[in-house]
Amino acid sequence: MSKPATVTPFLWFDIDLTEMVAFYAGIFADLKVHNVNSFQASFELGGQRFLAGNFGPYYTFNEAISLFVSCGNQDEVDYYWNALLADGGEPGRCGWLKDKHGISWQVVPHALGEALSNPDRDAADYAQQAMMGMSKIIIADLTQK
């Protein structure tokens, strides 16, 4: 092997890809479009390149693959949660949701990882139980009052 392989996620859709790219560009300020038309798209999001094709209804997305949005505070969680659910998305559990295109996302604050890895096992267990009862993650509810 002379050159390392590149790995690029390829997303299969059954929609006009110009609409899909416009939806995500309206949410993520760092989305860079390389090319897009109704049948194919190439873009970068968070420094990761993606390819997409409009190939019909033969395959659909499921939760086996999700995109992880790491958030610094509750305002970011609220923004991405609401934006990704817009126009027909479905909330899930523990910070997961499915957007209107069927893509699964995890919208997770840094504070969740910190709470779950707390060396105080009672506090960490509390955070885990709190998370299990949430749809959108609420940072203030991860710690005992």
Provide the CATH number for the domain formed by 8-56 in this structure: 3.30.720.100
- Fold exhibited by the domain 61-145: 2,3-Dihydroxybiphenyl 1,2-Dioxygenase; domain 1 (3.10.180)
* pLDDT of 1: 60
Q: Extract the runs of DSSP E, i.e. beta strands, from the chain.
A: 10-13, 32-36, 40-45, 48-54, 66-71, 90-91, 96-98, 104-109
* pLDDT of 144: 85
* pLDDT of 25: 97
In sequence order, which residues have a C-beta less than 8 Å from that of residue 43 and are 6 or more positions away?
21, 24, 31, 32, 33, 34, 36, 49, 50, 52
Segments making up each domain of the chain, as ranges = 8-56, 61-145
In the chain, pLDDT over 70 holds for what percent of residues?
99
Instruction: Identify whether the C-beta of residue 33 lies closer than 8 Å to the C-beta of residue 20.
Output: no
* pLDDT of 3: 85
The pLDDT mean for the chain works out to 96
Token couple for 85:
């659910």
- pTM for the full model? 0.93
Residue-wise pLDDT for 64-119, tens only, equals 999 999 999 999 999 999 999 999 999 999 999 999 999 999 999 999 999 999 99
Report, as an integer, the average pLDDT of 48-61.
Answer: 96
